Amino acid sequence: MKLILATNNAHKMREIFEILGDEYPDMVTLKQAGLEIDVVEDGDTFQANAIKKAEEVLIASGYPAALADDSGLIVDALNGAPGVYSARYAGEQHNDADNNEKLMRDMAGVPWDRRTCRFASAVALARKGKDTICVLGTVEGILLTEPHGTNGFGYDPYFYYPPFDKAFAELSAEEKNSVSHRKRALEALQEILRREQA
């Protein structure tokens, strides 16, 4: 399947290529396809945003299929925030450091047993002449009070993953890709595609 990846996020592109590259060697990015499109993420769920991105890029690109991801961090003590606003938690023009700083301010004084959180990734595959598939993958963790590690991106330095006794930013790419929310969503998508072909 010739596939276009509906994202301009370099970190997401790398992770998706690392997870799916062997199965979809013809996968291209928006940049590689010469396509400049920035889909407005105005949905109230990760799934709504992922579906919108995949379907708009499918139409704009002319490719037979478009894959999109919308993901973020859900913190229980903040009633699910940052959630769909994870990338712009500190405001539209802010970066990872600003978002993490705001998150730490908002979580100041919250005890360890109430710092439960999870990463969620909605992956949508839009295809010509077929229904769009959308799946959700999650991974459970605990929000640290200070950053650990220099790998990864976004909230990874603050996301402690108990089974590995490390923050996501302390994991190698291979370790993170073996357990991440994005990996779990992509695996669920592949399973649906395998069932379709059976």
- The residues annotated with a catalytic role in the active site are 70
Partners of residue 193 on adjacent β-strands: none
